[in-house]
Chain A
Amino acid sequence: MKLLALMKKEFVRFFSDPKLLINMLLPGILIYIIYSLMGNLIWQDAKEYKFVVAQTNAPEQIVAMTTAAVSGNGWSIEFQSGVQDAKERVEKGELTAYVVFPEVFEEKIGEYDAESGTPAPQVELYYRSADEESMSFFTLFTAVLDGYEHGKSNKFDVNAGGEKYDFSEETNVFATTMGRMLPFIVVALVFSSCMGVTLESVAGEKERGTLATVLVTSVRRSHVALGKVVPLSCVAAIGALSSFLGVVLSLPKLAGMAVGDLVASYGFTSYLLLFLLIMSVIPLIVAAIAALSTYAKSVKEASAYTSIVMIVAMVLSIAAAVVQSIGSWTVVVPILNAVVAMQGVLTLNISVWQSLVSVGLNLVYAVLLVLLIAKMLSSERIMFGK
C-alpha cells in the first residue's frame, strides 16, 4: 500500500503536468521532422524520375523486376517496344534509355556454359551518363541485371527466388549502416529521456528536502527506492518510445524507401527483441541516475555525475559501432550488451540468446542498483552529511 502510494504520486505528478508530458514527447517529434526533412532534401531530385525506356526482346521477368525496383524508390517507369530510331532518341534525350536483349535470351543463358570459352549472350544498354535521370536508370538497371544473373548462376528458382534474393541484398547494405548507427542513437535518446525525469525527481527532491519528509515516515527505504525507479522508468519509456518511433518512421525517408518495405525487412522477432532490449536499458539507466542523484547533494552535482556516465555509455556504443567484431564478453557489460545485441538484430545477425541474456542481466543490474539506493537512503553520511 505504501509502495503504491509512492508510485502513484510520481505518475500523478507527471501525467497532470502537460509541460512535462510535452517535454517527453517532443524529442521524438523533432527527430521525425528533422530526419524527414533531411531525407526529403537528399532525395528531392530523384523523387521526380519518370523513366521512359525503349526495349527489344526484354524478358518479362526483367521488366517486372525493374518496375518493382523503380516503384520501390518511389519513381515510375514506362517500357516501350518497337520504337523507331531508339538510339538516336536516347541521344536527343527523348528517351531515358534503350535496352536490347538477344532473341530468346532466357533460353540462351540457360544453355550457356561459362567454362566453354564462347562469348556469353550480350545485353546492350544505351544511356547518357551526363544525364542524372538516365544515369540513375543505368545504375538501377545494372543492379537488377546483376541480381538476375546472380539468381541464374546460383540456380535459384527464376521467378520467386531470384527476385527475393535481389531485394534482400539491397536491404542488407542499408541494414548494416542503420544497424551500426541506430543503437548509438537509441542509447543517446533513452539516456536523455531518463535523465530528464530522474534528475529532477530524485536529486531535486533530495535538494529541496522533500525526500527527507518521506524518510521520517515509517516507509521502508527499499520502497522509497522502488517507488522512484519503477514509475520513472515507465515515464522515461514513453519518451524513449517516442524518440524511437521518430527514428523508425523517419529512417525510411532518409533511405528513400517506403516505410512498409523497411518494416517488412525485419521480422517480428527482430522487433520484439529490439523492444525488449530498449525496455531493459530504461530501468537500468533510470536506476543508475537515481543512485547518482541519491548520492549527490544537489541537482547540479547529480547532473555532473550523470554526464560522466552518459559520456562513457556514448563512447562505448560508438566503439561498438566502429569495432567490427566485438567479443561475446560484452554480454556482461551493462548498456554495451544491449547496444551490441541491437546491432545484431538490426544487421540481420540476430542472436536471440545474446539478446535475452542482455535483457535479463540489465534487469538484474537495475534491481541491484535499487538495493544500493535503499542502502544509501539509510546512510546518515549520504542523507544528512555536510
Chain B
Amino acid sequence: MEEIVRAENLKKTFTLSKKQRKIEKTTIGRKTAVDGLSFSAYRGEIYGLLGPNGAGKTTTLRLLSTLIRPDAGDASVCGRSVTKEAYKVRDKIGFMTSELKLEGFFTPDYLFGFFGRLHGMDESLIRRRKEDLFARFGIDKFAEVKVQDLSTGMKQKVSLVVAIVHDPDVVIFDEPTNGLDVLTAKVVTDFLCELKAMGKSVILSTHIFSLVEKLCDRVGIIIDGKMAKDGTLDEVWAGKTLEDRFFEIYHTVTGETI
C-alpha cells in the first residue's frame, strides 16, 4: 500500500473577526480549527473525513490543497510538502466542492482548455485529455453549449471534469453532495467511483454516514479539530453501524450525549 497523502500534526488557528465572535457567542479572539491532526491516505483509495459542523474538515482540506498554510505541522501529497513545495502540490491535486465554480458564460470546451493552459499543459495533450474525459462522462454533446444553459447535473459534471483536466493523482473534495438534489448527487457519487476505477486517490469530507459507507475505504472521525478515530471502515465500524460508532466516539471525546 503506497502512502499518497500524509498529514502530520497539522495545526491551524484563526483569529476571529468581531462579527464571528458575535455569531459564536464568545469573547475569545482565536479559534483552533485544526488541532494536531495526523492521518494517512493511500493510493487508489477513497478517504473520508467525517465530522460535525465546525469540526475543521474544510480547514483540513484547504491545508492539504495549499490554499492556506498550517501554523504547525506539515503534510505531504505525493511526497511533496504542502509548506515547502506548494506549487508542485497544486499540480498533483484537483480541488473541488459541491458548489459550482465555473463562469456560466463559457462553454465546457473553452473552460477545459483554459484550466489546462493554467496547469501548463500543451494543446495536443489538452485535446487528447478532453476527448477522453468528455466521452467518458457524456459531455461531448454539450461541449459547445454555454455552462449557464446546461442542466444542473451536466453543470456539475463539467465542473468535476474541469477540476481533473491536468490528471491529478489526488482529488480533494469538500462535501461532495452537500446541497445537491438526488439526481445531481448521483452524478457526483458515480464520478467518485469512476475516479477510483481510474486509479485516483480521493480525500473527501462529509457529515453524511451513508456516503462514507457507500464510497470510502478509510474513514477519519474528526471532532473539534482532532482525529478521534481513523482506519479502514471495518476497523472503525467494529461490527456496529457507522452511525452508532460515531456517537459512541463523539460521547467519549466530548462527554456529551445526544
Chain A residues packing against B (C-beta within 8 Å)? 1-2, 4-6, 9, 12-13, 17, 205, 208-210, 212-219, 380-381, 383-386
Contacts and interface: CB of A to CB of B under 8 A. Distances in A.
B116 to A, nearest CB: 9
A1 B120 contact: yes
A212 B117 contact: no
- In the A-B complex, the 4 residue pairs with the smallest Cβ-Cβ separation, listed nearest first, are A5-B117, A218-B90, A216-B95, A217-B118
Contacts of B166: 217
Interface stretch (B97-105, B200-208, B216-224, B244-252): B97-105
A217 B90 contact: yes
B229 interface: no
Interface stretch (B44-52, B60-68, B177-185, B230-238): B60-68
B196 interface: no
Contacts of A4: 117
B20 A6 contact: no
A179 to B, nearest CB: 42
Among B17, B87, B117, find the residue whose CB has the most chain A CB atoms closer than 10 A.
Answer: B117
Given A2-B120, A218-B119, A386-B20, A205 B103 contact: yes
Interface string B73-91: 0000000000000011011
Nearest to B117: A5
A383 B65 CA distance: 14
Nearest to B97: A209
Contacts of A384: 62, 67-68
A135 B174 CA distance: 82
B115 interface: yes
Contacts of A214: 118
B43 interface: no
Contacts of B106: 9, 12-13
Given A216-B67, A218-B87, A210 B101 contact: yes
A4 B99 CA distance: 27
Given A13-B103, A208-B101, A386-B17, A216 B117 contact: no
Contact of A218 (B67, B68, B91): B91
B114 interface: yes
A209 B93 contact: no
Contacts of A212: 67, 101
Contacts of B163: 213
Task: Say which size band chain B's interface belongs to.
Answer: 20 to 34
Contacts of A13: 103, 105-106
Nearest to B122: A1
Nearest to A211: B101
A380 B120 contact: no
B110 A2 contact: no
Contacts of A9: 106, 114
B69 to A, nearest CB: 7
A218 B120 contact: yes
A384 B115 CA distance: 21
B69 A1 contact: no
A6 B118 CA distance: 8
A386 B59 CA distance: 12
Interface string B15-51: 1010110000000000000000000000000000000
Contacts of B115: 213, 217
Dominant secondary structure at the B interface: mixed
A378 to B, nearest CB: 10
Given A216-B67, A380-B68, A17 B105 contact: yes
B101 A213 contact: yes
Contacts of A386: 14, 17, 19-20
Contacts of A381: 15
Given A2-B120, A4-B117, 6 more contacts: A2-B117, A17-B105, A218-B90, A218-B91, A384-B62, A386-B17
Nearest to B20: A386
A386 to B, nearest CB: 6
Nearest to B12: A380
A4 B123 CA distance: 14
A228 to B, nearest CB: 13
Contact of B114 (A5, A215, A385): A5
Contacts of A385: 17
A295 to B, nearest CB: 14
Contacts of B103: 13, 205, 208, 210
A111 B67 CA distance: 90
A385 B114 CA distance: 27
Contacts of B15: 381
Contacts of A12: 106, 110
B102 A213 contact: yes
Nearest to B69: A380
A215 B101 contact: no
A104 B27 CA distance: 99
Given A17-B105, A386-B17, A2 B118 contact: yes
Interface in B127-161: none
A2 B117 CA distance: 6
A223 to B, nearest CB: 9
Contact of A219 (B62, B99, B118): B118
A385 B166 CA distance: 28
Contacts of B20: 386
A209 B68 contact: no
Contacts of B117: 1-2, 4-5
Contacts of B105: 13, 17
A216 B120 contact: no
Given A216-B93, A218-B91, A5 B118 contact: yes
A17 B103 CA distance: 13
Contacts of A208: 101, 103
A214 B17 CA distance: 26
Nearest to A4: B117
Contact of B67 (A2, A5, A6, A215): A215
